[in-house]
Amino acid sequence: MPRTSRVATRRFTWQLASFALVFGCWEIAGRWPVSAAFPPFSQTALAFLRMIADGSLPKAYLSTVQPLFIGVILCGIAGIGFGIGMGLSRAVEWSTLPILIILQAAPMAAIIPMITYIYGIGLTAKVLAVAFLATPVIVMNSYKGIRNTNPSLIQMCRAFLGTRSQEVVKIILPHAGALIFAGLRLGLAMGFIGVVIAELLITPTGVGDLITYHGSVADYPEMFAAVASIILAAAVTIHGLERLERRLFPLEVRGS
Amino acid sequence: MVSPDAIVEVRGVGKTYEGGVEALREVTTAFPWGKLCTLLGPSGCGKTTLLKIIGGLIPPTTGEVWVNGKKVDGPGPERAFVFQDFALLPWASVLRNVAFGLELRGVSKEQRAEVARKQIAEVGLAGFESSYPHQLSGGMRQRVGLARALAVDADIILMDEPFSSVDEQTRRKFQEDLLDLLRHREKTVIFVTHSIEEAAYLSDQIVLLSRRPGTVSRIIPLDIERGRRSPDEIRRDKNYLDTVDEIWRVLKQYVT
């Protein structure tokens, strides 16, 4: 067997073993007679399959991804735009940076009732909740990516008679590409948090509804399956984006 | 005192940075056409500042620089820069990096590729056209930087400690190759270095700067018959050895 595939097999074995260990511990802890509200892994997994079979889980996800994607795409476009603007212009930086710092520091759960107060309980409010959480990291990453451009490359561009727009297009943006993409990935991760908070605090829909409902009627395996599924969905999506990022911007050729 | 064949004239140039650090004071000197001149001085004496002022990359606080009878107010097509840290685009191939100056000037893709290929071959990097900077050694990267400067066909090449981040053996080979490359070209080179041997080996004229704030301490013309002689013969030349001694006697007083 070639070396690389042997290494890959060994890595896969270890990954499998770590999953087995975690789920095994979960199973044992669940069978410990401490709390009836903590189901073992096996029951949770079965509940998960039941919820897929009866269509409730797919339906819930269909409604959860809507505010998530709309929110992340909207603040992806606007946030990258703002971040680039802030990086390139002192005036935009001066007027926007304080707002972002406040947004980043604000406890979201406290703002959500205000969003509901103004925008009601519909899709708009949930999109806003996602946007509030995802925007700061997207903007800040784009902004920092632009700001951290290697000054020596900018000087080189000027020395070889590059114009300001060539400087932006040929040096600054490619240089910031990797950080901007990383900002989108982190923004999506924040978006997952935002959408679940919105579904728990505003109106129970989608996955938030499954968690609240099954919790209230003491279907703990179902409730845990919903919680685990959203964690799994977020982790897999973010990891996938991270791999894409590494392929698009290999460490050796990225500027920052 | 300014000779009629001077291509670059520095008249009373002083530079004080924001924060009050005075890097240069009243520097007046001239660089003759077609010669290799070195700016040599103790570290922090403003050699690089002076070179960047000549290059039009930073404005002087007082005085002015004239190139080809025109006052410098920015970078120009008759000057090309070689940077201490190479300043290569990490995401671009050797070919694109070498052609970058032409790309910024709007030269067509085929035309600039042709020029770049020729320069790449001349600096001894044929076969590495599609490599990326991270795949090259420090010495090879600086060859790319040199090829980029040669590709725009400027009369004056400004080199900012080009070999300082290259190991001793590579540096010697590079110095020899540089003399070879320049032998048949009518280029004026202004070369910043802190190495006495390097200055004596390469230059037709050495401008010695004093400690900060840098002023011209002495101008030393070199009369070493290079012609067809081997590098080792030059390094054993009596004029070469005397010059090294003389420079050291002057510089010693600045070193504490």
Position B4 confidence tier, pLDDT thresholds 50, 70, 90: low
- Does the residue A72 lie in any domain? yes
Residues linked to residue B193 through DSSP beta bridges, in sequence order: B40
CA dist B44 and A86 (Å) reads 34
Question: Which residue of B73, B83, B91, B102 to mutate against A (max A Cβ within 10 Å)?
Answer: B91
Position A4 confidence tier, pLDDT thresholds 50, 70, 90: confident
Judged by DSSP in three states, B199 sits in helix
What integer best gives the mean pLDDT of chain A?
89
Sequence-distant (6+) residues with CB within 8 A of B236 are none
Interface of B with A in 149-208 (CB under 8 A): 152
User: For residue A163, which residues of chain B lie inside 8 Å, CB to CB?
Assistant: 104
Task: Quick: pLDDT tens for B132-149.
Answer: 999 999 889 999 999 999
User: For residue A156, which residues of chain B lie inside 8 Å, CB to CB?
Assistant: 81, 83, 87
Say if A161 is an interface residue toward chain B (CB within 8 Å).
Answer: yes
- Does the residue A30 lie in any domain? no
The shortest C-alpha distance from A165 to chain B (Å) reads: 11
Cα torsion B256, B216, B185, B56 to 10°: value is 100
Q: Is the pLDDT of residue B36 over 60?
A: yes
Q: Is the pLDDT of residue A36 over 90?
A: no
What average pLDDT does this structure show over B33-46? Answer: 88
Task: Quick: pLDDT tens for A44-68.
Answer: 999 999 999 999 999 999 999 999 9
What integer best gives the mean pLDDT of chain B?
89
CA dist B16 and B90 (Å) reads 33
Q: What's residue B169's pLDDT?
A: 86
Q: What's residue B2's pLDDT?
A: 47
Tell me, what CATH number does A115's domain have? 1.10.3720.10
- Does the residue A138 lie in any domain? yes
Say what the pTM is: 0.83
- Does the residue A15 lie in any domain? no
Task: Quick: pLDDT tens for B69-117.
Answer: 899 999 999 999 999 999 999 999 999 999 999 999 999 999 999 999 9
Interface of B with A in 8-47 (CB under 8 A): none
Question: How many distinct structural domains can be found in chain A?
Answer: 1
Task: Quick: pLDDT tens for A120-131.
Answer: 888 899 999 999
The shortest C-alpha distance from B46 to chain A (Å) reads: 17
- Does the residue A50 lie in any domain? no
The shortest C-alpha distance from A19 to chain B (Å) reads: 38
Domain coverage including residue A115: 58-249
Between strands B62-67 and B70-71, the pairing is antiparallel
- Does the residue A16 lie in any domain? no
Say if A159 is an interface residue toward chain B (CB within 8 Å).
Answer: yes
Percent of residues, chain A, with pLDDT higher than 90: 62
Position A152 confidence tier, pLDDT thresholds 50, 70, 90: very high
The shortest C-alpha distance from B31 to chain A (Å) reads: 20
Q: What's residue A1's pLDDT?
A: 54
Task: Please identify which residue in the block is written with the tokens 């000779």.
Answer: B3
